[in-house]
Structure 1
Amino acid sequence: MALHDDLTAIQHCVDELVRTVGRVEQRSGTELAGVDFRRVRMDTDHLRESVALLRAAATAPPARPEARPDLVTIPDTPYDRSLWTDSDDEGLGARDRHAP
């Protein structure tokens, strides 16, 4: 059985569960007055939404892998020191002084 068929079968079962919970709630009346059917209804609704999300994810086209950016080659040669004349070596102190 294909995944789509399995998810459809799950959806039918969940729909039947929701209908059955509704019938039991109506028939119980005061007999099960202490039982909170709101939680059961919320759980079945949540289950219905979860199955819908699964079905949507199964029918969505597969995600395309991101294109890798081109690699940039970094040369091994030292940088031009004139690029750094207006900055200090942060955390290392000034050039002409030593750390304590």
Structure 2
Amino acid sequence: MSVHDDLTSVQRCLDDLTRSVSRLEQQLGSGGLDMRRVRADADHLRESVQLLRAAASLQATPAKPELVTIPDTPYDPKLWTDSDDEGLGARDRHAP
């Protein structure tokens, strides 16, 4: 199964859980600590699955790399006045 199918299956199970918790609340009342805890846990699971679904959709679509435009104009020669030519040595010295 794919991740999408698994998440859909989990969502269906959570929907069933939410309906069951609602029926229990009608039968037992929603004022008890245990019932509030079960409701909070079910809500927390629903939020967690939504986060998983969002994370899975981000991973499924690879981000396009940002394109950087490099101009065709030559660089300013003043940028290179304090550097040596790579591989050629310093200007006032000769290679061995």
TM-score range relative to shorter protein: 0.5 to 0.7
Instruction: Return the letter of the residue paired with 1:26.
Output: Q
The one of the two structures with greater contact order (alpha-carbon pairs below 8 A, sep at least 6) is 1
* RMSD (CA atoms): 3.0
Aligned partner of 1:58 among 53, 56, 64 = 56
Distance change >3 Å, CA 25–CA 5, structure 1 → 2 = same
Query: How far did residue 34 of structure 1 move?
Result: 5.3
Name 2:2's counterpart in structure 1: 2
Name 2:17's counterpart in structure 1: 17
Deviation sequence 1:25-57 (CA, Å, 0-9, x none): 11124xxx7553111111100000000110111
Instruction: Return the letter of the residue paired with 1:5.
Output: D
State percent identity of aligned pairs. 63
Q: Within 1, Cα distance between the matches of 2:12 and 2:55?
A: 18
**Gap regions ≥5 residues in structure 1:** 66-100
Name 1:27's counterpart in structure 2: 27
